[in-house]
Amino acid sequence: MTLEADILATFPAEVRIPARLVADAVAASSAETPRMLVVLDDDPTGTQSVADLPVLTRWEVEDFIWAFGQAKPAVYVLTNTRSLDPAEAAARNEEVVRNALAAAGSADASAGSSLRLGFVSRSDSTLRGHYPLEPDVIAATVADVSGEATDGVVLVPAFPDAGRVTIGGVHYMRGTGDAAGKLTPVAETEFAKDASFGFANSDMTKYVEEKSQGRFAAESVIVLDLNIIRASADPQITAKAIAEAIEPATNSTPIVADIVTENDLRALSLGLEEAERRGKKLLYRVGPPFVRARIGQEIRTELTGAEAYAGNTPSEAGGLIVVGSHVGVTTRQLKALTEQHSAARIVEIDVEKLVAAETETGAGDAHLDQTVDTVVEALRGGDVIVHTSRLLIKTEDAAASLRIARTVSAAVVAVVNRTLKTFPPRFVIAKGGITSSDVAAHGLEIRHAIVRGPMLPGIVSLWEPVDGPAKGIPYIVFAGNVGDDQSLADVTRKLSNTF
């Protein structure tokens, strides 16, 4: 492990940049032609850093027309591609981009003015996901529909709120507790060993070369290190320095940015705004907080329990906490919650039984029937924690790993959906990326929602469903790999009437 202070000592100090400065720059560029960012979110946890923005779990043209009608600077589209194989992920990215562009054309015709779209490929702050596939498909689709070529793909995986930072082109995870202040290169963490999206390099230039299989050589990647991001105490000078560094980008050149703080993200945003003003066509491959900074949104303070239910009358039923993620921090959070919340009923979905049941007709259905009956009965008396068994069934085959994940997720979705339609819970928390995506789109049948804000500072978002059977029920999207050991208990305590 390396001490963060030692690494940062070789770079300039951060420069304070108000969010309003970025918002004003965005507004100035949108004065004549409004612009909206379409964020293709490969799991729903990308919304954890923003507030008051629309979310779609479906992406037909009419869904985009609804979203564009909200007159917000960005819309999130829940593609859930991290749970898909490469061919499926590519097809979904293309479909989303084509429909968004078609809807923008329709909006132009109805409003009598043009609407510019920018595209953001939001993925994991620990570098898991379909890269470079997704930005490649987005760029190709935009070029096919509009004839516009992409000059650069800006990679910003940093998520300072959750301890992920990029310094000197190297992506790190911050330590917590006794390891606070220490940095671990992300390739040395459990996330780099992911069965589907593992990787070997923490140096982002080498990561790009690794994942592109040499199509982009490490030395061809443009690195915006902290010397550029913090070039001057004058943000306008820094913006010009960033734009000039990006100037050579052409034909989807990868561009990596150092980020340690929110001020760094805002400085980068000003530079990207300047680069685009000069005519550069950019796509973004980013972690959660990028969009907040890019549109000049202030950091939303965490929501209180009262704010979570604002405008709706909470049910007297118990809440439903669904845990599907298997990463270490989730297992520790689950342990803390179950130890502290003695009034909650704990229901386990047996993963081994589900996988085995794929070859036994009716065996899986019987297990789910029993699970739903147990959950519904328990909700009448208080909160229910539904979790998949903690034994992770591993396989060396990436496709087989995804298939097992889908089997488990389908079972979780079935339990949530049948419970919702039998005895609606007071609130729903879904822990894990694939879990929270499938629970939103299929378990709760949410099509359109508004991100209200975070339940913890900078992480864990609350969605308000605006349609479907879950309308009015707070839905909490909780990534598997964020928070400390107490975070799940802290969020549950805010929403529960029995904890």
Q: Where are the domains of the chain?
A: 2-294, 306-495
The pair phi, psi for residue 241, each rounded to 5°, is -65, -40
Spatial CB neighbours of 414, under 8 Å, sequence gap ≥ 6: 368, 372, 443
Indicate whether 10 pLDDT > 60.
Answer: yes
Indicate whether 391 pLDDT > 70.
Answer: no
Spatial CB neighbours of 311, under 8 Å, sequence gap ≥ 6: 464
pLDDT tens, residue by residue, 37-78: 999 999 888 898 999 999 999 999 999 999 999 999 999 999
| Cα angle for residues 143, 148, 152 (degrees, 5° grid) | 95
pLDDT tens, residue by residue, 264-304: 999 999 999 999 999 999 999 999 999 999 999 999 999 99
In the prediction, which pLDDT does 324 show?
A: 82
* pTM beyond 0.75, yes or no: yes
Q: How far is CA 435 from the centre of its chain?
A: 13
How large is the average pLDDT for residues 227-239? 98
| Cα angle for residues 15, 219, 193 (degrees, 5° grid) | 85
Indicate whether 1 pLDDT > 70.
Answer: yes
- Per-residue pLDDT band at 178 (split at 50, 70, 90): confident
Give the β-pairing of 448-456 and 53-56. antiparallel
In this structure, are residues 71 and 318 in contact, taking their beta carbons and an 8 Å threshold? no
* HSE-CB for 383 with a 13 A CA cutoff: 24
Residue 382 is given by DSSP the state S
Spatial CB neighbours of 109, under 8 Å, sequence gap ≥ 6: none
How large is the average pLDDT for residues 469-498? 94
CA distance 439 to 247: 43
In this structure, are residues 20 and 236 in contact, taking their beta carbons and an 8 Å threshold? no
How large is the average pLDDT for residues 228-236? 98
Amino acid at 491: V
Which whole-number Å values give the CA distances from 429 to 57, 321, 345, 374, 494, in the listed order?
17, 5, 15, 18, 12
In this structure, are residues 154 and 284 in contact, taking their beta carbons and an 8 Å threshold? yes
In the prediction, which pLDDT does 109 show?
A: 44
On the question of a common fold for 2-294 and 306-495, the answer reads no
**What sign has the CA pseudo-torsion 182, 183, 189, 191?**
positive
- Per-residue pLDDT band at 392 (split at 50, 70, 90): low
Indicate whether 262 pLDDT > 70.
Answer: yes
Indicate whether 111 pLDDT > 60.
Answer: no
How large is the average pLDDT for residues 125-137? 97
Indicate whether 322 pLDDT > 90.
Answer: yes
The top-level CATH class assigned to 306-495 is alpha beta
In the prediction, which pLDDT does 112 show?
A: 44
- Greatest Cα-to-Cα distance within the chain, rounded to the nearest angstrom: 68
DSSP 189-200: SGGGG-TTT--S
In this structure, are residues 310 and 304 in contact, taking their beta carbons and an 8 Å threshold? no
- Per-residue pLDDT band at 122 (split at 50, 70, 90): very high
Give the CATH superfamily of 2-294.
Answer: Putative sugar-binding, N-terminal domain (3.40.50.10840)
Indicate whether 411 pLDDT > 90.
Answer: no
pLDDT tens, residue by residue, 82-107: 988 999 999 999 999 999 999 998 75
In the prediction, which pLDDT does 396 show?
A: 64
Tokens of 37: 């960012």
CA distance 140 to 451: 30
DSSP 351-377: HHHHHHHTTSTTHHHHHHHHHHHHHHH
